[in-house]
Structure formats: structure tokens, C-alpha cells
Amino acid sequence: MQKPFEIEDFVVIDETAPVANDTHGGRAKCLQRLIRLDLPVPLTVALSFATVRRLASGGQVDTAAILRNFGAAPLVSVRPSSEDPDWGGPGAILNIGMNDARHAELANLLGHAAADRLYVRFVQTYSVQVARLDPDSFEAPDDPDGSTLTAMLDAYEAEMDEPFPQDPARQLSDVLKSMARAWEGTSARLLRQARGAPAEAGLGLVVQRMAPGMGPPESGSGVIQFVSSDTGLPQITGRYLGQSQGRDALFDESAVYLTRDPRGPSLEEMYPEGFDRLMQYGATCRQRLKEEMQIEFALDAGRLSVLDAVRVQRTARAAVRIAVAMAEDGAIEREEAVLRIEPGFLAHLMHRQVDQKAARDVIATGVAASPGAATGRIVFTSAAAQAAAARGEATILVRRETSPEDIRGMHAAHAVLTERGGMTSHAAMVARGLGLPGVVGAHGIALNRRARTLTTPDGRVLNEGDLVTVDGTTGTVLAGAVPLLEPNLDDSFRTLLHWADEVRDIGVRANADTYAEAKMALTFEAEGIGLCRTEHMFFEEDRLTLMREMIFAETAEGRAASLERLVPMQVADFCKLFEVMAGRPVCIRLFDPPLHEFLPQSRDGLRDLADAMGLPLSRVTRRVEALSEFNPMLGLRGVRLGITMPEIYEAQARAIFTATIESSTPEMPVVPEIMIPLVSAKREVELVRGRIEGIAAAVRSETGASFDYRLGVMVETPRAALRAGEIAPHVSFLSFGTNDLTQMTYGLSRDDAGRFMSVYVQQGIFTEDPFHRLDVEGVGELLQLGASRGRAVRPDMKLSICGEHGGDPESIAFCRAAGFDYVSCSPFRVPGARLAAAQLAL
Ligand code: PEP
Ligand code: MG
């Protein structure tokens, strides 16, 4: 693509200079904006990405020419300017140009102390960061003087066999080269890629006239911002330090507050005019740059300079509050606020937290790397986490440290705990990205992968499968399950999502099986339930046996007996769901129990079942063997169960209709949606539909009540998608179950894919795990075919997706483009889906 202007090696930034984010980096562009706002930015020269790249590979740039812009005896700083400030870059280097002559001049001008400190600082940074000498030899006391300077210059000469370079042009050239090379280094590359930068991301550099911040009063430097990074609420934060440079004030205990503070002196009291001007600059940035900025400033004998401004760092909570507050003040449009928040970010606000009132048995502590809390069984490998997730079990992935191979395991786990690492280590960054509670760097825990044990610092030994709670908000690991508090979402979160709802044009429902999940779905303002997996209503210990009795009954009479007990439970469950959803749509899926999930696995399980059924163990064992399948995911499940044992779906239909009548009021009639799973043939639908209609008629005549309902099919087999045209006349909606559809399209077991998925992704065979992100090319084509064939027959056919993909922004984009009515995803993903959907519509 042709650039709108020729890019020179370097350019003096003024109001019209040709600098852009993608040629000179975000810092250069931001400085230009500050200049346009008339802020007192010292003269700045920007070097382009191309120039820096050339420098990194041994090329030259005319540094004497750069310095000529700064007049005689210049003193300058160099800062990195990457395209996105979050991608980082090498540390700033200040006071370039200091040499013996300049030192003598400045001693006259600013005093000896200031001149010594400026020169010491430069020799120190140059020696360590540019010449790469041992930092221990260049440690400076807090109050360096002439002798410190002499010692440092001597140390430099001794190490380098040459005196400290005196020529400013050479100094600048060495600084620029070393920063350019640092950017190309492997660790810098990995770090920025982990922050989302492309491999070939460029670096610009800005050379700026120093505002020394040292000399006659009032001289110093500081950093100020006008909102809290934690909460996003208005709050003046930052520090100021006299006789200092750069960000010194942030790290020095003698720094003063900015605004009046009972804890100590403040800049506002010491130098009110400067403070007032900073306040005005903050307001100007907010209004004109449409962003809350953190401003780095310097005072030189009372003259204020703005050296730099960066977007205020912010937590997810602060990000939402800032965006909403700016839109409410009219600084930005509401749509802009909606666009500013990454949908994945919302997860940070929505996680459970440990109830602080609960008893806590702390077994390890570490860095609070990712907020939220989760309870689960410990596993030591990603494969174990994935296998457990496929069984619907919550796990805590415990690793020494994580690597990209662990990402799939982290997706599957409910929290992550690592022995090593810190706030920016892989585990921490990935966990935050996923909204997964995480504690990293839990020093003192010892992992033994072979024995599958974790030894805590106080000597307790935990085995794989033991229950722990990870509290990523406080950085602690607790023994066992601990009461957790549901997330507390503040007004700005809700406001932002309401704005999102105003613009989005695809519905968002939740997958919720139980009353508790339905309540959670409502907290997140789902429009209804898109998938209630009725067999999950029987996962609890005391109900599981009943479900098993029904499945293992050998005769229709036996089955009828267990159904008789099961139906009232279902009626009560459905009534509660209808009640909590208060007129919102509820889509109930008829039983779809893959037999391997419901077969008793152990001898104890078999004995319990024998007890419950009053049968000898040998008979139950034989029955279980007879029912065992080689391929349960492709076996007797879904509608196949409904066809071969019709009384099961009939009983469920009766339960749904009974609950419908009980829960309906004249003002708010319940209209349940009933969904048939795992369909592959039209005839299956015809048969089930006929029976459900029969039950509806029977219930109507038995009760004299009238009610309505809708029937739909889950498209989970490729054949159902291909034959959607002939299924369509029988149903009013199609819901794509993309978990099974992905499994069957790829011929890839949901339960086993984790064993080799990472190899496939690493080798680029799959760009992403198709169980996380919809495979738009293959599975997507089936979605499109099914949708268009269904709608060709029934133009009013409701279309939706209810597999895991329903919460993924890219998959939502696909469904929206394909004309779907809604997506349905787990309750915690609902806010992200609402926001992602809105962003697509803008
Ligand atoms: C699906 O297959 O996509 C689906 C939603 O059903 P389940 O995950 O229960 O098989
Ligand atoms: Mg399914």
C-alpha cells in the first residue's frame, strides 16, 4: 500500500509533520497530538520504523544531523515508540549529550550537584544499557557527587579500554543502535507477541530535548493521571519529586503528592500554578484526545514541560467505567464506548470471588495473577484437564510453569496454579486473557509429576484429584471447596451492555440447565435459555441413580416405574425455570445422555444401582455390559433413545406441558420450546413430533387447559444439516449443536481430541482448535447449507447456535452473517457475546 507521504530517516515533529502510528509509532503520533493541543512539548525528532530496522541490521543514520535540530550543546533523551504502546520497547535513555564540557557548563548554570547527577545518570545508563557492562560496577548512591562521577568514568575506561565517549553524535548513534537491536532480540520479540503484537512489529524512536528537571527551584519531574487505574473513578494520582527526571518520582519515597493530601506535602501547595495547568492539560486530553491520559511532566526553574502522555493503564473494571463516563460526559459517543471494550475483557468483572467471611485454610500463596476464584480437582497435565472437562468436571491445572502447549489445558481448566512465574509470565498473561482465575509463582510448592502429587510449603501432600480452591484475586490457594460469592457487576458494566443491546441485531441466550444457572443467566441479562440439557438436571448424586434406573430398565414397565418418579421432579424443575425466566423463552432439549456418561464406572456404582433396583449385582452387571457401546458418542443417545424407548420422551413432554400449565398466567403464558437432539433423519422428527402432539392433546383434554409450544430440531449431525429442507416442514426452529457437529464433521472425538490437538495446531494443520472457534470453512458450510435449506422451506424458521462456539466473537460474527436469530452460550459468556454482537453491528 502506498503511504500518503515519503518517510524520511527522521523528522522533526510539529503540527503537520508526516508521522503516523504505523510509520513512527504511537508515542511519536501522540506527541504530535499534544503539540497540536498547544501543550508545551520539548522539541522532538521521530525516527521511522524503517530507520530503526536499518540500524538494527548494521546501517547508519546521521546523528549529527539529528542533533543539529537541537542547537548547540544539546542534551536529549531517546524513548521507544512502538505502534501500540502496550507492546512495550526498550527503556528510555536520558541525558544523551552529557560530556566533560557540558558538565562544566551545567555546573555553572544549574549548580554542581545537578550537573554531577545528570552526568552520573547518563554514564550509568549508557554503560549498562548500551555498552552492556556489569551493572554492579555502575551502582550509584542516592546522592552522587563528583567522586561518584570520577569512579564511574574510570570504571568505564577500565572495562572498555577507551575513555567514556565525549562526542554527542557518537553517543546518540550508539544509543539508537542498541535500542534498535534490543527490539529485535528474542526475549523482546516473545514478550511483545504475548501482548498481541505481530512478529514483524516495527519500532520507532523519539529523540527529545531534555527538560533536565534539575537546577534552581522549582525543578523536578512527575507523573499525573486524573482517574484511578483500579476503579476508573475520578482521582488525581501520581507523584512529583524535586530534582528528578523521568519516572523517578514513582519510585522514590521522598516524592510528594500532587494534590492536597493529609499524609504529606503536595505539588498543589508547593506550586499551585503548575498544578492548575496540569489539571487543564488533563481535561484537554480527555476532551480532545478522547482518552484518559497519564502525563509525564518536568519543571525547570518553574517552566512546565509535557514530555509524554500515555493512555492510563487500567483494570477491566476501570476500562468499562472510563468508557461509560466519557460517553456520559459527551467526550465520546456511546457507540465508541461500546467499541472500546474487548469482549473477552468482561470476563474479569464477572468471576466468582471467595467469600471473605468463610473459613480459609491457606495451603499456598503466590502472585495474584488473574482475578476470580474457582474450586476444582487438581490435575498436572493439560491432557488430564481436557479429559476432565469433557466429562464436565472442574479442574485446577497445576504446572511448574506453562507454555503454549498448555493453552488448551487452560481453556479446559477452571483455574491455573504455577510454581514459577510472575505477573507477566505466560501463565499469568494467558489466564488473564481467558478470564481464568490464576495464581502464579507459588514458591514453596513442590510438584512431582510422576507421583502426581503436590507438596505444600507446610509439608501437606495433595494427590491428583484432590479438591482445592484457587483465589486469583488475593493470590492464595485454599484447601477444599470454599463458599464463593457471585460476581457483583456495577452500574457502568450494565450501562455499557445496555448500550450494546440497543445496537446489536442478533439475540443472545444462555445455556442453562438448572435453576442456579438460569439465575446466573438472568444476572447477565440473557434473553432466554437457548439450551437446557435435561439430562444434566440429573447429575446430582441422589438423582443420578434414578436416571440410571430408567436407562437400565429392561422392560417398558420397569422404565415406566422409574419415569413415574422422574416426571414430578422434571415438572418441579421446569416450573422453577419458567418462573425464574419470567416469560422469556426457554428451550428444553429432550434427554441426550451418552451412555458412557451414565454407566456406573465402578463396582460401588454397580452395587448402588443394584440396591436401587432391587436386583442382584450379577444381573445389573450383565445389563451394563449389554448396554456398553464401542462408540457411545455415536451410539444410543439423543433422539435414538426417544425412538427406541418412546415412553421416555413422552414422559418428558408430559412434564413440560404440566409445568407450562402450572406456570402460565393469563398475562404471561409460557410457550416452551422443545428441541430434539442428534437428529439425522426426517422420519425421526415425524415420529417424535407425532408423539409429542399426542401428549399435548392428551394433557389439554385431561386438564381443560390450553397452551402453545414450539418444536425444533438440533442440527448436530452432518446429515441433519444436509437434509434440513425435509426436516423443516415439521419444526419451527433449528438450533445448531456445533459441539457434536464439529465432532462429526471432522470425525474427531470431543473426548479424545485434546491428546493431539496441540500437535495439529502447532503444525498449522488446524489454525485453531475447532471445538473453541467455529471452523467456518467446513462446519460453517454445513451451517450455511442447513440454514438456507431450512429457510427455503420455512422462511420464518428460527435459527440459532447452542454449541460452545456461541460465546466466541468470531463464531458470533459468522452466525450473524448467516442470518441467525440468536446465539446461546454459557451464562458467563453472555455479556461478552452481547458486546461482541454489538460491535459487529457498528
Ligand atoms: C452440541 O452438541 O453442540 C450441544 C450443544 O450439545 P451437547 O454439548 O450437549 O452435546
Ligand atoms: Mg450435542
Q: Is 739 in the pocket of ligand 1 (CB under 6 A)?
A: yes
Category of 230 on φ-ψ map: left (φ > 0), alpha (ψ -120 to 50) or beta: alpha
Residue with the bigger pLDDT between 215 and 399: it is 399
* Per-residue pLDDT at 555 exceeds 90: no
Nearest ligand 1 atom, CA 738: 3
- Catalytic status, residue 351: no
Residue 404's pLDDT band, with cuts at 50, 70 and 90, is low
For domain 220-314, give the CATH number.
3.30.470.20
Residue nearest to atom 10 of ligand 1 (CA): 740
When the candidates are 3.40.50.740, 3.40.50.360, 3.40.50.300, 3.30.1490.20, the CATH number that belongs to 10-209 is: 3.30.1490.20
The residue from 426, 536, 772, 805 that is catalytic is: 426
Q: Is the CB of 632 under 6 A from ligand 1?
A: no
Residue (of 829, 828, 827, 826) closest to 809 by Cα position: 829
Asked whether 533 lines ligand 1 (CB < 6 A), one says yes
Asked about 443 being catalytic, the answer comes back as: no
Query: Which of the listed residues 509, 517, 533 should we mutate to test ligand 1's pocket, taking the one with most ligand atoms within 8 A of CB?
Result: 533
- Taking CA atoms, 329 is separated from 37, 286, 320, in Å, by 20, 10, 14
Domain range list for the chain: 10-209, 220-314, 351-485, 504-535+571-593+641-746+776-841, 595-636
Q: What is the mean pLDDT of residues 564-571?
A: 93
Please, what's the b/e burial string for 673-683 (b: 16 or more CB within 10 A of its CB; e: otherwise)?
A: bbbbbbbbbbe
| Closest approach atom of ligand 1 to CA 743 | 2
Identify the sign of the CA torsion 455, 459, 465, 471: negative
Task: State whether the beta carbon of 808 lies less than 6 angstroms from ligand 1.
Answer: no
Look over the chain and give the mean of its residue pLDDT values, rounded to a whole number. 91
Does ligand 1 lie within 6 Å of residue 740's CB atom?
Answer: yes
Residue 630 CA to residue 644 CA, distance in Å, equals 19
Residue 5 pLDDT more than 60?
Answer: no
Strand pairing class (76-82; 293-300): unpaired
Q: How confident is the model at residue 488 (pLDDT cuts 50, 70, 90)?
A: low
The residue nearest atom 9 of ligand 1, judged by CA position, is 533
pLDDT, residue 4, reads 43
Which among 817, 813, 819 has a CA at the least distance from the CA of 837? 813
Map 257-311 to HEC letters.
Answer: ECCCECCECEHHHHCHHHHHHHHHHHHHHHHHHCCCEEEEEEEECCEEEEEEEEE
Mutate to test the pocket of ligand 1, among 714, 739, 800 (most ligand atoms within 8 A of CB): 739
Q: Are 122 and 96 a contacting pair, CB within 8 Å?
A: yes
Give the model's pLDDT for residue 3: 41
Q: At 768, is the pLDDT very low, low, confident or very high (cuts 50, 70, 90)?
A: confident
Residue 1 has pLDDT above 60, yes or no: no
* Residue 352, all three cell numbers: 466468582
- pLDDT over 70 percentage in the chain: 97
Check whether 487 has a pLDDT greater than 80: no
How close is the Cα of 637 to the center of ligand 2, in Å? 10
pLDDT reading at 729 higher than 90: yes
Could you tell me where the beta strands, DSSP code E, fall in 2-92?
10-12, 44-47, 76-82
pLDDT of residue 424: 58
395-399, 560-564, 628-632, 748-752: least confidently modelled range: 748-752
Provide the ipTM.
0.99
3-state secondary structure 674-720: EEECCCCCHHHHHHHHHHHHHHHHHHHHHHCCCCCCEEEEEECCHHH
Alpha carbon distances (Å) from 241 to 94, 294, 797: 17, 16, 67
Residue 510 bridge partners (DSSP): 529, 825
Of residues 725 and 245, more confidence is placed in 725
Q: How many Å apart are CA 447 and CA 469, to the nearest integer?
A: 17
The pLDDT of residue 2 is 41
Name the strand (E) or helix (H) holding 376: strand 373-379
Identity at 227, one-letter amino acid code: V
Tell me the fold of 351-485: Glucose Oxidase; domain 1 (3.50.30)
- Listed as own residue / partner, the contacts of 417-422 with beta carbons closer than 8 Å and 24 or more positions apart are 417/364, 417/366, 417/378, 417/442, 417/445, 417/468, 417/470, 417/477, 418/366, 418/442, 419/443, 419/445, 419/446, 419/447, 421/367, 421/369, 422/367, 422/369
Judge: domain 504-535+571-593+641-746+776-841, CATH 3.20.20.60: yes
Report the range of poorest mean pLDDT among 40-49, 82-91, 118-127: 82-91
Q: Mutation test of ligand 1: which of 513, 634, 714 has the most ligand atoms closer than 8 Å to its C-beta?
A: 714
Average pLDDT for residues 32-54, to the nearest whole number? Answer: 97
pLDDT per position as a tens digit, 252-309: 888 999 999 888 899 999 999 999 999 999 999 999 999 999 999 999 999 999 999 9
Say whether pLDDT at 780 is over 60.
Answer: yes
Q: Compute how many other C-beta atoms are within 10 angstroms of the C-beta atom of residue 628.
A: 12
Could you give the CA distance from residue 200 to residue 70 in angstroms, rounded to a whole number?
Answer: 32
Query: Is 669 a residue whose pLDDT tops 90?
Result: yes
